[in-house]
Amino acid sequence: MNLRAFTVAALFSLTIALDAQPVPDAAKPPETAGAWVDLLAAASGWKATVTYDTLTGTGHILRGLDLVRFKVGFPLYSAGAGRVLKAPAVRDAGSRLEIPREAVASIASWFSERDAERASRFSIAAILIDPGHGGKDSGAIAEFGSGKDRLRILEKDVVLSIAGDVFSRLQDRWPDKRILITRSGDTFPSLDARVGMANEISLGINEAIIYVSIHANASFNKSASGYEVWYLNPDYRRTVVDSKKSEGVDENVLPILNAMLEEEYTTESVFLARSILGGLKGGLGDIAVNRGLREEEWFVVRNAKMPSVLVEVGFVTNEAEARKLSDTDHLRKLGDGIYNGIVDFVDYFEHRKGLGSP
């Protein structure tokens, strides 16, 4: 189809130039007549533009990403997203297009529906990366070999390096999200301070935060190796509803609300754990053992009122793995894996919770 579209204003100057027949005043309702509105005036009220094709008698009203199509004399408007608005038709009044007030009202309410829908979309507004231990608390420590093969490895250093990498990559990817890290040097924030940092972030109604704690493992079994991701045991009952934020809420409702939120956080924590595990598997391939998902009641995970997981990047007590964990390339791969897992989760979460196409 050869669809030539003009803006209405351009179109009418063209029409008038080609066809100078004056429109009889009687056929033209007064500007303010009750039933009809100038389509361009209605559109400018919506900050929309109008395009109209005289050959087919069709046109559209475009407002941001919302497009409403109309056909002169046809009492249906196609509003996109599978929606058809039934309203009296647009008419061609010669010098301008006119739209019945009833149709103006339907289109206006469709636009506000779309606005409300967009405003209700969920987003991960903040991501808190928590490298475990630090400062006086070295976490797991191991020593191997002697001479130039001597290796002394501290969990706090391994996890800080990986976490810093994940943190800066997330910042680059999402400058609009709040990306935080519990420590950026060799310091020791208390567990309460770490969790507090996460819980104090103020979020909008449809915003969420995720918490990713990064640790390295130790075992008496020197052959144990590999990475794993922990999430909270779903049987553990948490108080996830913040009492300060629920003032005025019927106290009988709180336990129910709490259970609902808890359920949601647990489900999301499992998804987040699974995404990160998938990211690590993709990034490391066969060079490290995938020990899978684990459930536990870690302090930081238990007290974070949000989807949260704890990643164990490997065993410092296994010599071969400890040597990898002191290699910057390997650390970068671990960082890549965690980063990719977080990105997958955020994409999934934001789209699953979205209410359809833009």
* 72-101 binders of Zn ion (CB under 5 A): none
Residue nearest to Zn ion (CB): 215
Quick one: which segment of 85-93, 181-189, 209-217, 254-262 binds Zn ion (CB under 5 A)?
A: 209-217
x-marked contacts with Zn ion along 112-141 as a string, rule CB under 5 A: --------------------x------x--
Judged by CB under 5 A, the stretch of 83-91, 95-103, 207-215, 276-284 that binds Zn ion is 207-215
φ, ψ at 337 (rounded to 5°): -60, -45
Shortest separation between residue 132's beta carbon and Zn ion, angstroms? 4
Q: Look up residue 353 and give its two tokens.
A: 């919770």
> Measured from the CB of residue 139, what is the shortest distance to Zn ion in angstroms?
4
210 to 269, contacts with Zn ion by CB under 5 A?
A: 215
Residue 137: CB minimum distance to Zn ion, A: 9
Q: Name the residue among 228, 213, 223, 230 with its Cα closest to residue 314.
A: 228
In the complex with Zn ion, which residue's Cβ is closer, 165 or 312?
A: 312
Burial classification of residue 157, based on how many CB atoms lie within 10 Å of its CB (0-12 exposed, 13-18 middle, 19 or more buried): buried
Query: What is the SS3 assignment for 351?
Result: helix
The smaller minimum CB distance to Zn ion, of residues 215 and 274, is found at 215
Q: Does 314 bind Zn ion (CB under 5 A)?
A: no
Indicate the residue among 135 and 145 with the shorter CB distance to Zn ion: 135
Q: How far is the CB of 180 from Zn ion (least distance, A)?
A: 19
Tell me 15's DSSP state.
Answer: H
Total of chain residues touching Zn ion, rule CB under 5 A? 3
How far apart (Å, rounded) are the C-alpha atoms in residues 104 and 256?
42
Work out the angle at residue 73's Cα, subtended by the Cα atoms of residues 71 and 74, and round it to the nearest 5 degrees: 60
Instruction: Report CA-CA distances (Å) from 175 to 84, 126, 167, 168, 170.
Output: 38, 11, 12, 10, 8
Interface contacts to Zn ion, rule CB under 5 A: 132, 139, 215
